[in-house]
Amino acid sequence: MFFAKLFELTRQGPMVLALSADAASGRMTVNVTPVAGKDAADAALRKPLTLTGTPAEFDADFIPLLGQYREARRTLIEQAEATAEVLAAAKQAQVAKAAEATAKGRKALPPPRARRSRRHRRRRPQSRQMTMVMPSSRATSRLLTTTSSAETASLQDKEHDMALVAQSVERKFTFQGIELDDPGLHPSPEQVRDLYSAAYAELTTAEVISHGIENGKQTFEFQKKVGDKG
């Protein structure tokens, strides 16, 4: 009876049976450990059966407990197999959907354009004969002289404009006879006034007056408004 139950249990897979005894207490421990794979799905199937009791208790209850353990493992195996079948079916369904989407995408693509034959290739434009009437030598000379003078004047105007653009006019800022340095980066006079207002509180409400170009510098003066205390 004992080995018959072991035979039914080991049909589900290999088992390791370990026995140990404690002489002082008169009790013994039996471990039945299944040898399963290392996958996460096999974790529940690797759970061992551990029993501790007296020899008389094992004689009375070990065989029924071993049968219950075998039935529990069989249920777990069936559940694992059913789960594997469900996963395989889902995988096949996903593959079928991907293949169907690929086929639809290929149908939606426009047909490839046929290459044009050599007859339909771009033809080179045919050369046309042009007849030029040459003016007399005097007219030609006058025309060249007029064109040269116009081009020279145009070039001189462009050079003059470029010289004006290239020149940078220096700026001068004063407040109550004090000359303030130009902070650079060409800020507006109002921005320069606001910048120096941190050092001179009177500049907060000062007016900006431009005196034009003086000694090659564009001069701006910051004047206090009439009525301000300071």
Taking only the tens place, the pLDDT of each residue in 105-130 is 776 666 666 666 566 566 665 555 55
Residue 55 domain-assigned? Answer: yes
Q: What is the pLDDT of residues 69-85, one digit of tens each?
A: 878 877 877 777 777 78
**Helix, strand or coil, per DSSP, at residue 135:** coil
As beta bridge partners, residue 218 has: 171, 213
Domain boundary among 38, 55, 90: 90
More confident residue, 138 or 223: 223
How many domains, in total, are found in the chain?
Answer: 2
Residue 155 domain-assigned? Answer: no
- At residue 168 the predicted structure's pLDDT band, cuts being 50, 70 and 90, is low
Judged against a pLDDT cut of 90, whether residue 29 lies above it is answered with: yes
Task: Supply the range of the domain harboring residue 218.
Answer: 170-223
Pairing between strand 217-223 and 170-175? parallel
Domain boundary among 41, 67, 90: 90
Residue 182 domain-assigned? Answer: yes
Which among 188, 184, 193, 200 has a CA at the least distance from the CA of 221?
193
Q: What does the pLDDT read at residue 144?
A: 43
Tell me what the mean pLDDT of segment 60-64 comes to.
85
Termini Cα distance of the chain = 118
Residue 218 domain-assigned? Answer: yes
Strands, sheet with 27-34, edge to edge from the N-terminal-most edge strand: 15-22, 27-34, 49-53
d(CA 140, CA 142): 5
Tell me what the mean pLDDT of segment 163-169 comes to.
53
Residue 69 domain-assigned? Answer: yes
Domain boundary among 58, 90, 122: 90
Pairing between strand 170-175 and 49-53? unpaired
Q: What are phi and psi of 103, to 5 degrees?
A: -65, -40
Whole-structure pTM value: 0.32
Residue 116 domain-assigned? Answer: no
Residue 126 domain-assigned? Answer: no
Residue 24 domain-assigned? Answer: yes
Which among 66, 75, 79, 78 has a CA at the least distance from the CA of 3?
66
